[in-house]
Amino acid sequence: MMNLTAVDFTRVTLRDCFWAPRLETNRKVTLPIQYEHLQKTGRIAGIDPEYKPGDRTAHHIFWDSDVAKWMETAAYSLATHPDPQLEAQLEEVIAKFAKLQRSDGYINSWFTAVEPEKRWTNLRDCHELYCAGHLMEAAVAHFKATGKRHFLDMVCRYADYIDSVFGTEEGKLRGYPGHEEIELALVKLWKATGERRYLNLAKYFVDERGRQPHYYDVEARRRGEDPEKRGPGRYRQNQSHMPVREQTEAVGHAVRAMYLYCAMADVARETGDRSLVAACETLWEDVCLGHLYITGGIGQSGSNEGFTFRYDLPEETAYCETCAAIGLVLWNHRMLQLHGDARFADVMERGLFNGTISGVSLSGDRFFYVNPLASLGNHHRQEWFRCACCPGNISRLLASVGQFFYSESEESAWVHMYAEGEGRLRVGDREVTIRQQTKYPWDAHVRLELNLARPATFTLALRIPGWCRQASVTLNGTLVSMAGMMEKGYLKLNRQWQSGDTIELCLPMPVERVRANPAVRQANGKVAIQRGPVVYCLEEADNPVTPLSRIALPRSSALNARYDRDLLGGVVVITGEAEVIKADPSRKWLYDTRAPQTEPMRITAVPYAVWDNREPGQMLVWLREI
C-alpha cells in the first residue's frame, strides 16, 4: 500500500472556468435554498424532541441525515468563506441537536419523538447508525472549519454510547447498520480526535457484516418476524449476504455498497489490513469493468436502487442515483491514495465531470435523483424530494471538490486533476505551491509552476489521463522524454526543484467515438461521443428530431469541437454530419418491408453534465452508428 495523503480542499484554490462558477453557485444559491427546504419541510423543526410526538406523517426516519449533510456543507463553506449569518444558522441547528441528545449520549429525532421504544430494534431497515454517521461527518467538518469543539464533543458522546452498545463483548449487540455510512464516519472521527476506539468500532462494523449467525435474522426473530419469508438472497440488498472479504461482485443498493467499500478502504489504510485491500480491488474490477456507465454513474435498476448483473446497462431506465456516483468518486479517491494508480483517478474524474454534477442544475436550485442516459423528455430536475439525500450530497461534494486534485507524501507531490488555480502541498518538511494555468477540460494545455522557499529534491507525479494517448511534456521549455518515466499512469519527475520551475503538459483531446464491450447488449451498434474527460449527449433543443433515436452517426463523419461561451455557462460543443430516418406522418403503418429513407442533418452535442438546463426535450447519449 502506498498511503498517499489527499491535500485538503482548504489548501486548494480553484479559479477555473469549470469548477469555480459551480462552487460559487453552490455557496450562494444551493446552500441557502437547501436550508429553506429543510425549514419548510419540518426537518429542522423535527430535531426538537417534542416535535409532534408519534405523528409519522410529519416526520421521516432519516431526516436527521438530510440536516447533517447541510451542516457538513455549511462547515465546508465556512472553512473557505467566513459568513456570520451562515455560522449563526449552523450554530442554531447544532443547539437543537444538543437539546435532542439524551443523557446517555443518544441522538436521533425519530427514535426520540416518534418511536422511542424501538431504539436499536431494527438495524436492517431503519437508519439510526446511518444518521449517526452523517452527524459525525458534520461535526468533524465543523471542528476543522471553526476549531470549536462543542459539536464534536456531542458526537463523541454519541459514539461512546454506540461503542457501549455494539461489539463482540459480553452483553453487547453484534449488530451493524442496514445502510452503511457510520463506518467511514467513525474513521474520520478517530482521525479528528485520536480516540482509537472509534477506529476499532469502524473495523468491528466492517468485520462483523454478513457473519453467521446472521444478526438481521436474530433481531427479526426478536421482533416476532420470520426472516425466512424474505427469501434466500434477502441480504444482498445491503451487502450483508456474506462477510465483506468473501464478496467478489457488487450487489444490492449502489449507495450502500459505495459507502461500505469506502469504509473498507479507510479501515485498510488505517490498520494495514491487506485482506481488505484485496477485497476492494476485486470489487473494483467488478464495478468498473462490468457495471460502470460511461457517465460515471452506477446502479442500473430503480427497483433496488442498485446493481443488476454485469454488462446490463440500460439507457432510458438507468437509475444512476446521484448519491451512487458521488460514492463511486469517494471510493476511487480512497483507492487512489492506497495505490497511486491512475486507473482510480480516471474513474474518479469520469464521475466528477459527468455523472455527479449532472445531479444539480446550473442555477443550483434543482436536482436529479436519477440520472438516465436517455430521456423521452419527461425527466427533469426537481426542487426537492421527500427522500432528499441527493441535494445535500452533491452540495457537500462540490463544497469540498478541491480535495480530489492533489496528494502528498514524504517524498512526492501528486497532481491528479487539472484546473486553473493552485494547491499548497507539504512534501516532507517542505512547503510546495503548485500553480496551474489552464482552461481544462475545454483545452488540452496545462502549465504548472512550482514555488518553494528553497530548492528541494522530490518526485512530482503528474497524471496522464487514460483517455489521452499522445501526451507531451516540457520542463522549463525542454521537451521531456517520457520513456521509462511512466508508472501506473503517472509521469514521475524526480529532480531538485527550484522556485519558478515550470512544466507544460499537452493532453490532446480529439473528439472520439466510444464503443461498449459487445456484451453490453443495449449498446451494440452504437457509439458515445467523448472529448477529454467529458461525455456528450444530444438534446432535442439542438436537434429537433423525435425520437432522437432516428439519428445515426456515419462512421466516416467528421466531428468538430468549438467553445461556445454563451451556451450553458460556457461549454465546448461537438458538431457533425449525421443521417436521420425520414418520418412519414401520412402513413399509419407499424411495420414495413421497405428500407427506410434517410436524409442528412447536422447534429450538435453538449456535455451530459449540463443537459436539461433549457427547454424540455428528449436526450440521448448512445447513437446508432452506420
Q: How far apart are alpha carbons 150 and 136 in whole angstroms?
A: 12
Give the pLDDT of residue 223: 95
Condensed to tens digits (0 to 9), the pLDDT of residues 538-570 reads 999 999 999 999 999 999 999 999 999 999 999
Same domain, 601 and 568: yes
pLDDT at 431 over 80: yes
Residue 440 lies in a domain: yes
Residues 490 and 605 in one domain: no
- Helix, strand, coil shares of the chain as percentages rounded to 5? 40, 20, 40
| Annotated catalytic residue 131 | no
* Cell 459505495, residue located: 258
Does the annotation count 389 as an active-site position? Answer: yes
Give the pLDDT mean for 90-99.
98
Instruction: Check whether residue 546 and residue 494 sit in a common domain.
Output: no
The predicted-structure confidence for 150-185, as pLDDT tens digits, reads as follows 999 999 999 999 999 999 999 999 999 999 999 999
If DSSP codes are grouped into helix, strand and coil, which group holds residue 357?
helix
Whether 477 and 532 share a structural domain? no
Q: What is the pLDDT of residue 54?
A: 60
Looking at every residue in the chain, the average pLDDT score rounds to 96
Q: What would the mean pLDDT of 285-293 be, rounded to a whole number?
A: 98
Does residue 385 sit within a domain? no
The pLDDT value given to residue 49: 86
* Model pTM above 0.85: yes
Instruction: Please report whether residue 526 resides in a domain.
Output: yes
Cβ 174 vs Cβ 166: under 8 Å: yes
Contact 370, 385 (CB under 8 A): no
pLDDT at 134 over 70: yes
Please report whether residue 360 resides in a domain. no
Q: What is the mean pLDDT of residues 310-332?
A: 98
Q: What pLDDT shows up at residue 602?
A: 98
pLDDT band at 58 (very low <50, low <70, confident <90, very high): low
Q: Give a yes or no: residue 158 inside a domain.
A: yes
Check if the beta carbon of residue 177 is closer than 8 Å to that of residue 253.
Answer: no
Do residues 564 and 438 both lie within one domain? no
**Which residue in 126, 156, 320, 389 is the catalytic one?**
389
pLDDT value at 588 more than 90:
no
In a domain, 318, yes or no: no
Residue 115, pLDDT score: 92
Check which CATH number belongs to the domain holding 414 and give it.
Answer: 2.60.40.1180
Residues 533 and 551 in one domain: yes
Query: With bands split at pLDDT 50, 70 and 90, how would you rate the model's confidence at 56?
Result: low
**CA 30 – CA 363 distance, rounded (Å):** 8
Asked if the structure places residue 124 within a domain, the reply is yes
79 and 191 belong to one structural domain: yes
Residues 419 and 545 in one domain: no
Of 411, 288, 265, 282, nearest in space to 344 by CA: 288
Q: How many domains does the chain have?
A: 3
Domain boundary among 174, 196, 218: 196
Please report the pLDDT score of residue 59 as a whole number.
Answer: 77
Instruction: Say what the pLDDT of residue 585 is.
Output: 77
Q: What is the pLDDT of residue 53?
A: 58
What whole-number percentage of the chain has pLDDT above 70?
99
Asked whether residue 93 carries a pLDDT value surpassing 90, the answer given is yes
Residue after which a domain boundary falls, among 153, 173, 196: 196
- Contact residues for 132 (Cβ-Cβ < 8 A; gap 6+): 107, 108, 155, 158, 159, 162, 182, 185
pLDDT of 55 higher than 70: no
Question: Per-residue pLDDT tens for 100-113?
Answer: 999 999 999 999 99
pLDDT at 204 over 80: yes
Same domain, 429 and 522: no
Classify residue 453: in a domain, yes or no.
yes
Q: Find, among 326, 294, 372, 287, the residue nearest to 530 by Cα.
A: 294
Least confidently predicted of 165-179, 202-216, 583-597, 608-622: 583-597
The pLDDT tens digits of the residues spanning 499-524 come to 999 999 999 999 999 999 999 999 99
Clarify whether residues 109 and 174 are in a common domain.
Answer: yes
Closest alpha carbon to 457 in 488, 496, 421 = 496
The pLDDT assigned to 626 comes to 95
30-36-42 Cα angle (round to 5): 135
Q: Does one domain contain both 56 and 169?
A: yes
Backbone angles phi, psi at 254, to 5 degrees: -65, -40
For residues 206 and 270, is the Cβ–Cβ distance under 8 A? Answer: no
Task: Catalytic residue, from 115, 305, 321, 579: name it.
Answer: 305
Task: Give the confidence band of 534 by pLDDT, cuts at 50, 70, 90.
Answer: very high
Say yes or no: 483 and 516 in one domain.
no
Please report the pLDDT score of residue 15 as a whole number: 97
Q: End of a domain among 151, 166, 196?
A: 196
Which residues constitute the domain of residue 100?
19-196
pLDDT tens per residue across span 232-266: 788 999 999 999 999 999 999 999 999 999 999 99
